[in-house]
Structure 1
Amino acid sequence: MSRLPLTFECQGKRCGATLDSAPGTTGLLMVSGGNEVRAGAFNGASRLAREIATKAFPVFRFDRRGIGDSEGENRGYRKSRKDIAAALLAFRALAPQVERVVAFGNCDAATALMLASGAECDALVLSNPWVIDDETDTTPSPAAIRSRYASKLANPAELKRLLTGKVDLRKLVRGLGRAAQPRPTASSLAEEAREGLAAFLGPVTILLAENDRTALHFAEQWDDSDTRIRRCPNAGHAYAGEAAHVWLRAQLLEALRA
Protein backbone atom coordinates (compact mmCIF):
# COMPACT_ATOMS: atom_id res chain seq x y z
CA MET A 1 0.00 0.00 0.00
CA SER A 2 1.19 3.55 -0.79
CA ARG A 3 -0.31 7.03 -0.70
CA LEU A 4 -0.11 9.09 -3.89
CA PRO A 5 -1.03 12.81 -4.00
CA LEU A 6 -2.19 13.77 -7.50
CA THR A 7 -4.34 16.05 -9.61
CA PHE A 8 -7.05 15.43 -12.18
CA GLU A 9 -9.05 17.72 -14.45
CA CYS A 10 -12.71 18.71 -14.14
CA GLN A 11 -14.19 21.12 -16.65
CA GLY A 12 -10.75 22.63 -17.36
CA LYS A 13 -9.87 23.07 -13.67
CA ARG A 14 -7.20 21.13 -11.82
CA CYS A 15 -8.44 19.28 -8.74
CA GLY A 16 -6.39 17.88 -5.89
CA ALA A 17 -6.77 14.23 -4.94
CA THR A 18 -5.15 11.37 -3.05
CA LEU A 19 -5.03 7.68 -3.92
CA ASP A 20 -4.32 5.10 -1.24
CA SER A 21 -3.34 2.21 -3.46
CA ALA A 22 -4.22 -1.43 -2.88
CA PRO A 23 -4.59 -4.48 -5.14
CA GLY A 24 -8.33 -5.07 -4.70
CA THR A 25 -10.85 -4.97 -7.54
CA THR A 26 -13.36 -3.06 -5.39
CA GLY A 27 -12.48 0.51 -4.45
CA LEU A 28 -13.84 3.28 -2.24
CA LEU A 29 -14.54 6.78 -3.58
CA MET A 30 -14.76 9.24 -0.68
CA VAL A 31 -16.77 12.38 -1.42
CA SER A 32 -16.16 15.32 0.95
CA GLY A 33 -19.10 17.20 2.46
CA GLY A 34 -19.55 20.92 3.03
CA ASN A 35 -16.40 22.96 2.47
CA GLU A 36 -14.29 20.24 4.02
CA VAL A 37 -11.03 19.23 2.35
CA ARG A 38 -10.40 15.62 1.48
CA ALA A 39 -8.55 14.91 4.75
CA GLY A 40 -11.92 15.17 6.52
CA ALA A 41 -12.88 16.45 9.94
CA PHE A 42 -10.08 15.90 12.46
CA ASN A 43 -8.15 14.19 9.62
CA GLY A 44 -10.66 11.36 9.93
CA ALA A 45 -11.03 10.67 6.19
CA SER A 46 -7.27 10.42 5.77
CA ARG A 47 -7.02 7.92 8.61
CA LEU A 48 -10.00 5.95 7.35
CA ALA A 49 -8.54 5.74 3.83
CA ARG A 50 -5.25 4.38 5.15
CA GLU A 51 -6.96 1.76 7.29
CA ILE A 52 -9.24 0.57 4.49
CA ALA A 53 -6.37 0.39 2.01
CA THR A 54 -4.53 -1.97 4.39
CA LYS A 55 -7.49 -4.34 3.88
CA ALA A 56 -6.68 -4.43 0.13
CA PHE A 57 -9.29 -1.87 -1.04
CA PRO A 58 -7.92 1.17 -2.92
CA VAL A 59 -9.33 4.52 -1.77
CA PHE A 60 -9.64 7.75 -3.78
CA ARG A 61 -10.30 11.09 -2.06
CA PHE A 62 -10.59 14.48 -3.75
CA ASP A 63 -11.33 18.17 -3.26
CA ARG A 64 -14.14 19.38 -5.47
CA ARG A 65 -13.62 22.58 -7.45
CA GLY A 66 -13.02 25.65 -5.29
CA ILE A 67 -12.10 23.63 -2.17
CA GLY A 68 -8.69 22.83 -0.70
CA ASP A 69 -6.10 22.12 -3.39
CA SER A 70 -8.57 22.43 -6.27
CA GLU A 71 -8.93 25.30 -8.71
CA GLY A 72 -12.18 26.93 -9.78
CA GLU A 73 -15.33 28.16 -8.10
CA ASN A 74 -16.96 26.40 -5.17
CA ARG A 75 -20.48 25.85 -6.51
CA GLY A 76 -21.75 23.77 -3.60
CA TYR A 77 -22.93 20.21 -3.26
CA ARG A 78 -25.93 20.64 -5.59
CA LYS A 79 -23.59 21.30 -8.51
CA SER A 80 -20.90 18.75 -7.69
CA ARG A 81 -22.09 15.96 -10.01
CA LYS A 82 -19.38 16.71 -12.59
CA ASP A 83 -16.70 16.81 -9.89
CA ILE A 84 -17.75 13.36 -8.69
CA ALA A 85 -17.86 12.03 -12.24
CA ALA A 86 -14.39 13.37 -13.03
CA ALA A 87 -13.01 11.91 -9.79
CA LEU A 88 -14.51 8.52 -10.64
CA LEU A 89 -12.88 8.56 -14.08
CA ALA A 90 -9.52 9.47 -12.54
CA PHE A 91 -9.87 6.71 -9.94
CA ARG A 92 -10.59 4.08 -12.58
CA ALA A 93 -7.68 5.28 -14.73
CA LEU A 94 -5.19 5.20 -11.85
CA ALA A 95 -6.43 1.88 -10.46
CA PRO A 96 -7.37 -0.03 -13.64
CA GLN A 97 -7.93 -3.29 -11.76
CA VAL A 98 -10.96 -1.75 -10.01
CA GLU A 99 -14.19 -3.23 -11.34
CA ARG A 100 -16.58 -2.01 -8.65
CA VAL A 101 -16.68 1.36 -6.86
CA VAL A 102 -18.44 2.06 -3.58
CA ALA A 103 -19.03 5.79 -2.99
CA PHE A 104 -19.13 7.18 0.54
CA GLY A 105 -20.39 10.63 1.50
CA ASN A 106 -21.21 12.30 4.80
CA CYS A 107 -23.72 15.16 5.20
CA ASP A 108 -24.28 17.08 1.95
CA ALA A 109 -21.83 14.77 0.16
CA ALA A 110 -24.35 11.99 0.81
CA THR A 111 -27.09 14.25 -0.54
CA ALA A 112 -25.00 15.04 -3.63
CA LEU A 113 -24.71 11.31 -4.37
CA MET A 114 -28.46 10.89 -3.90
CA LEU A 115 -29.32 13.81 -6.17
CA ALA A 116 -26.93 12.37 -8.78
CA SER A 117 -28.59 8.93 -8.54
CA GLY A 118 -25.30 7.37 -7.50
CA ALA A 119 -23.12 9.28 -9.97
CA GLU A 120 -22.33 6.08 -11.92
CA CYS A 121 -20.92 4.31 -8.86
CA ASP A 122 -21.84 0.70 -8.10
CA ALA A 123 -22.85 1.00 -4.43
CA LEU A 124 -23.48 3.83 -1.97
CA VAL A 125 -22.82 4.40 1.71
CA LEU A 126 -24.73 7.54 2.70
CA SER A 127 -24.03 9.05 6.10
CA ASN A 128 -26.15 11.67 7.87
CA PRO A 129 -27.68 13.04 4.65
CA TRP A 130 -28.47 16.77 4.65
CA VAL A 131 -32.16 17.37 3.88
CA ILE A 132 -32.73 20.85 5.39
CA ASP A 133 -34.01 23.34 2.82
CA ASP A 134 -33.01 26.48 4.72
CA GLU A 135 -29.31 26.20 5.52
CA THR A 136 -29.54 29.16 7.90
CA ASP A 137 -32.21 27.51 10.05
CA THR A 138 -30.57 26.45 13.32
CA THR A 139 -33.82 25.61 15.15
CA PRO A 140 -33.57 22.10 16.65
CA SER A 141 -36.07 19.63 15.25
CA PRO A 142 -38.57 17.87 17.56
CA ALA A 143 -36.45 14.72 17.25
CA ALA A 144 -33.32 16.61 18.27
CA ILE A 145 -35.10 18.07 21.30
CA ARG A 146 -36.42 14.65 22.33
CA SER A 147 -32.93 13.20 22.01
CA ARG A 148 -31.45 15.98 24.14
CA TYR A 149 -34.04 15.58 26.89
CA ALA A 150 -33.63 11.79 26.90
CA SER A 151 -29.90 12.30 27.42
CA LYS A 152 -30.51 14.77 30.25
CA LEU A 153 -32.98 12.47 32.02
CA ALA A 154 -30.39 9.71 31.96
CA ASN A 155 -27.87 12.00 33.68
CA PRO A 156 -28.13 12.00 37.51
CA ALA A 157 -26.59 15.48 37.70
CA GLU A 158 -29.31 16.90 35.43
CA LEU A 159 -32.03 15.21 37.47
CA LYS A 160 -30.57 16.77 40.60
CA ARG A 161 -30.68 20.21 38.96
CA LEU A 162 -34.35 19.67 38.09
CA LEU A 163 -35.29 18.52 41.62
CA THR A 164 -33.42 21.39 43.30
CA GLY A 165 -35.09 24.07 41.17
CA LYS A 166 -32.02 24.95 39.12
CA VAL A 167 -33.78 24.38 35.80
CA ASP A 168 -35.72 27.16 34.02
CA LEU A 169 -39.20 25.62 34.04
CA ARG A 170 -40.58 27.99 31.39
CA LYS A 171 -37.79 26.99 29.04
CA LEU A 172 -38.40 23.34 29.90
CA VAL A 173 -42.12 23.63 29.10
CA ARG A 174 -41.36 25.32 25.76
CA GLY A 175 -38.90 22.59 24.91
CA LEU A 176 -41.33 19.81 25.82
CA GLY A 177 -43.96 21.51 23.68
CA ARG A 178 -41.66 21.47 20.67
CA ALA A 179 -40.64 17.89 21.38
CA ALA A 180 -44.29 16.84 21.26
CA GLN A 181 -44.88 18.35 17.83
CA PRO A 182 -45.79 15.89 15.06
CA ARG A 183 -43.33 14.76 12.45
CA PRO A 184 -42.74 17.63 9.98
CA THR A 185 -43.67 17.47 6.32
CA ALA A 186 -40.75 16.30 4.20
CA SER A 187 -38.64 19.13 2.85
CA SER A 188 -38.35 19.67 -0.89
CA LEU A 189 -34.69 18.65 -0.65
CA ALA A 190 -35.67 15.38 1.07
CA GLU A 191 -38.11 14.66 -1.76
CA GLU A 192 -35.46 15.41 -4.40
CA ALA A 193 -33.01 13.14 -2.61
CA ARG A 194 -35.64 10.39 -2.37
CA GLU A 195 -36.38 10.60 -6.09
CA GLY A 196 -32.72 10.62 -7.03
CA LEU A 197 -31.94 7.62 -4.85
CA ALA A 198 -34.94 5.71 -6.23
CA ALA A 199 -33.29 5.83 -9.66
CA PHE A 200 -30.16 4.12 -8.32
CA LEU A 201 -30.29 0.34 -8.74
CA GLY A 202 -27.24 -0.69 -6.72
CA PRO A 203 -26.98 -1.52 -3.01
CA VAL A 204 -27.37 1.34 -0.55
CA THR A 205 -26.46 1.66 3.13
CA ILE A 206 -27.66 4.68 5.15
CA LEU A 207 -25.68 5.47 8.29
CA LEU A 208 -27.03 7.74 11.02
CA ALA A 209 -25.05 9.04 14.00
CA GLU A 210 -27.53 9.03 16.87
CA ASN A 211 -26.24 12.25 18.47
CA ASP A 212 -26.15 14.24 15.25
CA ARG A 213 -28.72 16.96 14.52
CA THR A 214 -28.42 16.46 10.75
CA ALA A 215 -29.11 12.73 11.14
CA LEU A 216 -32.10 13.41 13.39
CA HIS A 217 -33.56 15.79 10.80
CA PHE A 218 -33.08 13.14 8.12
CA ALA A 219 -34.71 10.42 10.22
CA GLU A 220 -37.78 12.62 10.73
CA GLN A 221 -38.22 13.00 6.99
CA TRP A 222 -37.45 9.45 5.90
CA ASP A 223 -39.28 6.14 6.02
CA ASP A 224 -38.86 4.51 9.46
CA SER A 225 -39.17 1.07 7.90
CA ASP A 226 -36.24 1.55 5.49
CA THR A 227 -34.11 -1.51 6.23
CA ARG A 228 -31.04 0.15 4.74
CA ILE A 229 -30.68 2.42 7.79
CA ARG A 230 -28.08 1.64 10.45
CA ARG A 231 -27.55 3.74 13.56
CA CYS A 232 -24.33 4.37 15.44
CA PRO A 233 -25.02 4.90 19.16
CA ASN A 234 -23.43 7.88 20.94
CA ALA A 235 -21.85 9.15 17.71
CA GLY A 236 -21.52 12.72 16.50
CA HIS A 237 -21.57 14.01 12.94
CA ALA A 238 -17.93 13.23 12.13
CA TYR A 239 -17.68 9.90 14.03
CA ALA A 240 -14.74 11.45 15.87
CA GLY A 241 -14.72 9.15 18.91
CA GLU A 242 -12.76 5.91 18.67
CA ALA A 243 -15.79 3.63 19.04
CA ALA A 244 -17.69 5.58 16.37
CA HIS A 245 -14.68 5.55 14.03
CA VAL A 246 -14.33 1.77 14.38
CA TRP A 247 -18.07 1.36 13.74
CA LEU A 248 -17.91 3.51 10.59
CA ARG A 249 -14.90 1.60 9.27
CA ALA A 250 -16.73 -1.69 9.81
CA GLN A 251 -19.77 -0.44 7.85
CA LEU A 252 -17.58 0.64 4.93
CA LEU A 253 -15.65 -2.64 4.88
CA GLU A 254 -18.92 -4.58 4.87
CA ALA A 255 -20.14 -2.58 1.85
CA LEU A 256 -16.82 -3.11 0.07
CA ARG A 257 -16.87 -6.86 0.71
CA ALA A 258 -20.50 -7.35 -0.36
Structure 2
Amino acid sequence: MNRRHLHFICEGRTLAATLDSASAAGSTGLLIVSGGNEIRAGAWGGQARMAARLAAEGVPVMRYDRRGVGESEGDNKGFRGSAPDIAAALQAFRAAAPHLRRVVAFGNCDAASALSLFAADLPGIDALVLANPWTIEDEDDAAGHAPEALRRRYWHKLRDPVALLRLLTGKVNMGKLLRGLKASTRKGGPSGLAAEIQAGLARFGGPVAILLAEGDRVAQVFAAHWPSGDVRVQRHDSASHSFSDEDAQDWLFDRLIEATAVRH
Protein backbone atom coordinates (compact mmCIF):
# COMPACT_ATOMS: atom_id res chain seq x y z
CA MET A 1 0.00 0.00 0.00
CA ASN A 2 1.24 3.46 -0.93
CA ARG A 3 -0.23 6.68 0.50
CA ARG A 4 0.29 10.01 -1.23
CA HIS A 5 -1.22 13.46 -0.97
CA LEU A 6 -2.50 15.34 -3.97
CA HIS A 7 -4.43 18.46 -4.93
CA PHE A 8 -7.14 19.21 -7.46
CA ILE A 9 -9.19 22.21 -8.54
CA CYS A 10 -12.87 22.78 -7.86
CA GLU A 11 -14.38 25.97 -9.28
CA GLY A 12 -11.07 27.81 -9.00
CA ARG A 13 -10.23 26.57 -5.50
CA THR A 14 -7.51 24.10 -4.57
CA LEU A 15 -8.71 21.05 -2.65
CA ALA A 16 -6.55 18.60 -0.71
CA ALA A 17 -6.88 14.83 -1.04
CA THR A 18 -5.16 11.61 -0.01
CA LEU A 19 -4.86 8.53 -2.20
CA ASP A 20 -4.17 5.08 -0.77
CA SER A 21 -3.04 2.96 -3.72
CA ALA A 22 -3.37 -0.80 -3.58
CA SER A 23 -0.21 -2.81 -4.19
CA ALA A 24 -2.20 -5.19 -6.38
CA ALA A 25 -4.02 -2.53 -8.35
CA GLY A 26 -7.72 -3.28 -8.11
CA SER A 27 -10.10 -2.21 -10.85
CA THR A 28 -12.68 -0.82 -8.39
CA GLY A 29 -11.87 2.15 -6.22
CA LEU A 30 -13.62 3.77 -3.26
CA LEU A 31 -14.18 7.53 -3.04
CA ILE A 32 -14.81 8.62 0.56
CA VAL A 33 -16.91 11.78 0.78
CA SER A 34 -16.64 13.44 4.19
CA GLY A 35 -19.66 15.01 5.84
CA GLY A 36 -20.19 18.30 7.65
CA ASN A 37 -16.99 19.99 8.77
CA GLU A 38 -15.16 16.68 9.10
CA ILE A 39 -11.70 16.50 7.57
CA ARG A 40 -10.75 13.64 5.29
CA ALA A 41 -9.03 11.66 8.07
CA GLY A 42 -12.47 11.15 9.62
CA ALA A 43 -13.54 11.03 13.24
CA TRP A 44 -10.59 9.85 15.37
CA GLY A 45 -8.76 9.05 12.11
CA GLY A 46 -11.30 6.36 11.26
CA GLN A 47 -11.46 7.10 7.54
CA ALA A 48 -7.68 7.13 7.24
CA ARG A 49 -7.44 3.74 8.93
CA MET A 50 -10.27 2.35 6.82
CA ALA A 51 -8.56 3.57 3.64
CA ALA A 52 -5.31 1.84 4.57
CA ARG A 53 -7.13 -1.37 5.45
CA LEU A 54 -9.04 -1.43 2.16
CA ALA A 55 -5.93 -0.63 0.13
CA ALA A 56 -4.20 -3.58 1.75
CA GLU A 57 -7.01 -5.73 0.34
CA GLY A 58 -6.57 -4.35 -3.19
CA VAL A 59 -9.06 -1.46 -3.13
CA PRO A 60 -7.62 2.00 -3.99
CA VAL A 61 -9.19 4.71 -1.84
CA MET A 62 -9.30 8.48 -2.26
CA ARG A 63 -10.63 10.88 0.35
CA TYR A 64 -10.61 14.66 0.29
CA ASP A 65 -11.49 17.84 2.17
CA ARG A 66 -14.37 19.66 0.52
CA ARG A 67 -14.15 23.41 0.02
CA GLY A 68 -13.67 25.37 3.21
CA VAL A 69 -12.78 22.30 5.29
CA GLY A 70 -9.38 21.15 6.51
CA GLU A 71 -6.63 21.92 4.02
CA SER A 72 -8.97 22.89 1.17
CA GLU A 73 -9.52 26.46 0.00
CA GLY A 74 -12.85 28.21 -0.47
CA ASP A 75 -16.08 28.40 1.45
CA ASN A 76 -17.91 25.43 2.90
CA LYS A 77 -21.23 25.50 1.05
CA GLY A 78 -22.73 22.64 3.04
CA PHE A 79 -23.86 19.30 1.71
CA ARG A 80 -26.44 20.86 -0.63
CA GLY A 81 -23.68 22.84 -2.31
CA SER A 82 -21.14 20.01 -2.49
CA ALA A 83 -21.98 18.51 -5.90
CA PRO A 84 -19.09 20.36 -7.64
CA ASP A 85 -16.67 19.10 -4.97
CA ILE A 86 -17.76 15.49 -5.51
CA ALA A 87 -17.56 15.84 -9.29
CA ALA A 88 -14.06 17.34 -9.13
CA ALA A 89 -12.92 14.64 -6.69
CA LEU A 90 -14.21 11.92 -9.00
CA GLN A 91 -12.30 13.38 -11.92
CA ALA A 92 -9.13 13.67 -9.81
CA PHE A 93 -9.49 10.10 -8.55
CA ARG A 94 -9.82 8.66 -12.03
CA ALA A 95 -6.88 10.77 -13.25
CA ALA A 96 -4.69 9.59 -10.37
CA ALA A 97 -5.77 5.94 -10.81
CA PRO A 98 -6.46 5.58 -14.57
CA HIS A 99 -6.72 1.78 -14.32
CA LEU A 100 -10.02 2.02 -12.42
CA ARG A 101 -13.07 0.60 -14.16
CA ARG A 102 -15.54 1.31 -11.34
CA VAL A 103 -15.80 3.85 -8.52
CA VAL A 104 -17.95 3.27 -5.46
CA ALA A 105 -18.75 6.40 -3.44
CA PHE A 106 -19.12 6.17 0.34
CA GLY A 107 -20.46 8.87 2.63
CA ASN A 108 -21.63 9.16 6.22
CA CYS A 109 -24.23 11.59 7.60
CA ASP A 110 -24.81 14.58 5.29
CA ALA A 111 -22.22 13.22 2.85
CA ALA A 112 -24.57 10.26 2.38
CA SER A 113 -27.41 12.70 1.78
CA ALA A 114 -25.34 14.63 -0.77
CA LEU A 115 -24.48 11.46 -2.67
CA SER A 116 -28.14 10.44 -2.67
CA LEU A 117 -29.21 13.78 -4.07
CA PHE A 118 -26.49 14.22 -6.71
CA ALA A 119 -25.05 10.83 -7.75
CA ALA A 120 -27.50 10.38 -10.62
CA ASP A 121 -26.17 13.58 -12.18
CA LEU A 122 -22.48 12.90 -11.59
CA PRO A 123 -20.89 10.70 -14.26
CA GLY A 124 -18.40 8.20 -12.91
CA ILE A 125 -20.15 6.91 -9.79
CA ASP A 126 -21.03 3.24 -10.25
CA ALA A 127 -22.37 2.37 -6.78
CA LEU A 128 -23.20 4.01 -3.46
CA VAL A 129 -22.68 3.10 0.19
CA LEU A 130 -24.65 5.47 2.41
CA ALA A 131 -24.15 5.43 6.18
CA ASN A 132 -26.59 7.10 8.58
CA PRO A 133 -28.00 9.58 6.04
CA TRP A 134 -28.90 12.99 7.43
CA THR A 135 -32.65 13.73 7.20
CA ILE A 136 -33.03 16.23 10.05
CA GLU A 137 -34.06 19.58 8.60
CA ASP A 138 -34.16 21.58 11.84
CA GLU A 139 -32.05 20.12 14.63
CA ASP A 140 -33.49 22.53 17.21
CA ASP A 141 -37.04 21.48 16.43
CA ALA A 142 -38.42 18.51 18.39
CA ALA A 143 -39.84 17.27 15.09
CA GLY A 144 -36.28 16.35 14.18
CA HIS A 145 -36.43 13.38 16.56
CA ALA A 146 -37.89 10.02 15.65
CA PRO A 147 -41.51 9.76 16.90
CA GLU A 148 -40.78 6.52 18.76
CA ALA A 149 -37.93 8.14 20.69
CA LEU A 150 -40.10 11.16 21.50
CA ARG A 151 -42.90 8.98 22.83
CA ARG A 152 -40.49 7.20 25.17
CA ARG A 153 -39.06 10.53 26.28
CA TYR A 154 -42.43 12.10 27.13
CA TRP A 155 -43.69 8.93 28.84
CA HIS A 156 -40.69 9.02 31.16
CA LYS A 157 -41.25 12.73 31.83
CA LEU A 158 -44.88 12.16 32.78
CA ARG A 159 -43.73 9.63 35.38
CA ASP A 160 -41.11 12.01 36.82
CA PRO A 161 -42.46 14.07 39.80
CA VAL A 162 -39.83 16.76 39.27
CA ALA A 163 -40.81 17.18 35.61
CA LEU A 164 -44.51 17.32 36.56
CA LEU A 165 -43.76 19.99 39.17
CA ARG A 166 -41.92 22.10 36.59
CA LEU A 167 -44.93 21.77 34.28
CA LEU A 168 -47.44 22.77 36.99
CA THR A 169 -45.36 25.76 38.11
CA GLY A 170 -45.01 27.18 34.60
CA LYS A 171 -41.31 26.42 34.19
CA VAL A 172 -41.83 24.47 30.95
CA ASN A 173 -41.88 26.10 27.51
CA MET A 174 -45.42 25.18 26.48
CA GLY A 175 -44.90 25.98 22.82
CA LYS A 176 -41.94 23.61 22.61
CA LEU A 177 -43.82 20.98 24.60
CA LEU A 178 -46.82 21.11 22.26
CA ARG A 179 -44.60 20.87 19.18
CA GLY A 180 -42.87 17.86 20.69
CA LEU A 181 -46.16 16.15 21.54
CA LYS A 182 -47.40 16.75 18.01
CA ALA A 183 -44.21 15.29 16.57
CA SER A 184 -44.43 12.27 18.88
CA THR A 185 -47.87 11.34 17.53
CA ARG A 186 -47.18 11.70 13.83
CA LYS A 187 -46.99 8.59 11.72
CA GLY A 188 -43.75 7.65 10.05
CA GLY A 189 -43.30 8.94 6.54
CA PRO A 190 -40.77 10.77 4.44
CA SER A 191 -39.73 14.22 5.61
CA GLY A 192 -38.93 16.80 2.97
CA LEU A 193 -35.25 15.83 2.84
CA ALA A 194 -35.97 12.10 3.10
CA ALA A 195 -38.36 12.42 0.17
CA GLU A 196 -35.67 14.22 -1.83
CA ILE A 197 -33.23 11.42 -1.03
CA GLN A 198 -35.76 8.82 -2.17
CA ALA A 199 -36.24 10.70 -5.44
CA GLY A 200 -32.50 11.06 -5.97
CA LEU A 201 -31.84 7.36 -5.40
CA ALA A 202 -34.72 6.45 -7.72
CA ARG A 203 -32.84 8.24 -10.51
CA PHE A 204 -29.52 6.54 -9.74
CA GLY A 205 -28.96 3.42 -11.80
CA GLY A 206 -26.31 1.61 -9.76
CA PRO A 207 -26.32 -0.56 -6.64
CA VAL A 208 -27.04 1.17 -3.32
CA ALA A 209 -26.34 -0.01 0.24
CA ILE A 210 -27.74 1.93 3.20
CA LEU A 211 -25.96 1.27 6.49
CA LEU A 212 -27.48 2.24 9.84
CA ALA A 213 -26.03 2.25 13.35
CA GLU A 214 -29.18 1.36 15.26
CA GLY A 215 -28.24 3.29 18.40
CA ASP A 216 -27.39 6.51 16.55
CA ARG A 217 -30.00 9.29 16.67
CA VAL A 218 -29.39 10.38 13.06
CA ALA A 219 -29.93 6.79 11.91
CA GLN A 220 -33.06 6.49 14.04
CA VAL A 221 -34.57 9.61 12.49
CA PHE A 222 -33.71 8.34 9.01
CA ALA A 223 -35.35 4.97 9.76
CA ALA A 224 -38.50 6.71 11.01
CA HIS A 225 -38.84 8.46 7.64
CA TRP A 226 -37.82 5.54 5.42
CA PRO A 227 -39.85 2.60 3.99
CA SER A 228 -39.48 -0.30 6.41
CA GLY A 229 -39.23 -2.94 3.68
CA ASP A 230 -36.27 -1.46 1.79
CA VAL A 231 -33.92 -4.42 1.28
CA ARG A 232 -31.00 -2.07 0.68
CA VAL A 233 -30.95 -1.16 4.38
CA GLN A 234 -28.50 -3.05 6.62
CA ARG A 235 -28.25 -2.48 10.36
CA HIS A 236 -25.60 -2.82 13.05
CA ASP A 237 -26.32 -2.52 16.77
CA SER A 238 -23.62 0.13 17.29
CA ALA A 239 -24.50 3.49 18.82
CA SER A 240 -21.52 5.14 17.10
CA HIS A 241 -22.46 7.56 14.34
CA SER A 242 -19.07 6.97 12.69
CA PHE A 243 -18.93 3.21 13.41
CA SER A 244 -15.88 3.90 15.58
CA ASP A 245 -16.00 0.88 17.90
CA GLU A 246 -13.97 -2.12 16.79
CA ASP A 247 -16.86 -4.45 15.98
CA ALA A 248 -18.64 -1.73 14.01
CA GLN A 249 -15.45 -0.90 12.12
CA ASP A 250 -15.09 -4.55 11.11
CA TRP A 251 -18.74 -4.64 10.00
CA LEU A 252 -18.31 -1.46 7.96
CA PHE A 253 -15.13 -2.84 6.40
CA ASP A 254 -16.97 -5.99 5.32
CA ARG A 255 -19.78 -3.93 3.76
CA LEU A 256 -17.27 -1.80 1.82
CA ILE A 257 -15.44 -4.91 0.61
CA GLU A 258 -18.78 -6.27 -0.61
CA ALA A 259 -19.58 -3.02 -2.40
CA THR A 260 -16.21 -2.87 -4.16
CA ALA A 261 -16.12 -6.52 -5.20
CA VAL A 262 -15.75 -6.86 -8.96
CA ARG A 263 -19.05 -7.60 -10.65
CA HIS A 264 -19.08 -9.04 -14.15
Say whether the fold is shared (TM-score over 0.5): yes
Asked whether 1:142 is paired with 2:142, we answer no
Show the counterpart of 1:225.
229
Q: Which of 79, 82, 88 pairs up with 1:80?
A: 82
Show the counterpart of 1:155.
none
Asked whether 1:194 is paired with 2:198, we answer yes
What TM-score do you get using the length of structure 2 for normalisation? 0.84
Cα distance in 2 for residues equivalent to 1:8 and 1:81: 15
Structure 1 counterpart of 2:69, one-letter code? I
Contact 2:150 2:184 survives alignment (8 Å): no
Contact 2:3 2:21 survives alignment (8 Å): yes
CA-to-partner distance for each residue in 1:15-46, whole Å, 9 max, x for gaps?
00000001100000000011100000111000
Contact 2:107 2:131 survives alignment (8 Å): yes
Higher alpha-carbon deviation: 80-89 or 229-238 = 229-238
Contact 1:19 1:59 survives alignment (8 Å): yes
Show the counterpart of 1:168.
160
Give the drift of 1:185: 4.2
Aligned pair in 2 of structure 1 residues 147, 26: CA closer, same or farther (>3 Å)? farther
Give the drift of 1:178: 8.2
Percent identity, aligned pairs only, is 53
Paired residues, what number? Answer: 240
Give the drift of 1:234: 2.7
Cα distance in 2 for residues equivalent to 1:148 and 1:30: 35
Give the drift of 1:140: 3.4
- Structure 1 vs Structure 2 CA RMSD: 2.4
Contact 2:148 2:184 survives alignment (8 Å): no
Give the drift of 1:117: 3.1
Contact 1:142 1:178 survives alignment (8 Å): no
Cα distance in 2 for residues equivalent to 1:95 and 1:253: 18
Structure 2 counterpart of 1:144, one-letter code? A
What TM-score do you get using the length of structure 1 for normalisation? 0.86
Show the counterpart of 2:61.
59
Aligned pair in 2 of structure 1 residues 179, 190: CA closer, same or farther (>3 Å)? closer
Matched position secondary structure for 1:96 = coil
Structure 1 counterpart of 2:210, one-letter code? I
Matched position secondary structure for 1:105 = strand
Q: Which of 33, 36, 57 pairs up with 2:35?
A: 33
Cα distance in 1 for residues equivalent to 2:147 and 2:222: 12
Matched position secondary structure for 1:234 = coil
Give the drift of 1:136: 3.3
Cα distance in 2 for residues equivalent to 1:61 and 1:124: 15
Any stretches of 5+ residues in structure 1 without a counterpart? 150-161
CA-to-partner distance for each residue in 1:83-102, whole Å, 9 max, x for gaps?
00000000000001101000
Matched position secondary structure for 2:119 = coil
Contact 1:143 1:216 survives alignment (8 Å): no
Contact 1:115 1:197 survives alignment (8 Å): yes
Cα distance in 1 for residues equivalent to 2:127 and 2:194: 20
Aligned pair in 2 of structure 1 residues 98, 186: CA closer, same or farther (>3 Å)? same
Contact 1:30 1:61 survives alignment (8 Å): yes
Any stretches of 5+ residues in structure 2 without a counterpart? 165-176
Contact 2:35 2:107 survives alignment (8 Å): yes
Give the drift of 1:179: 9.7
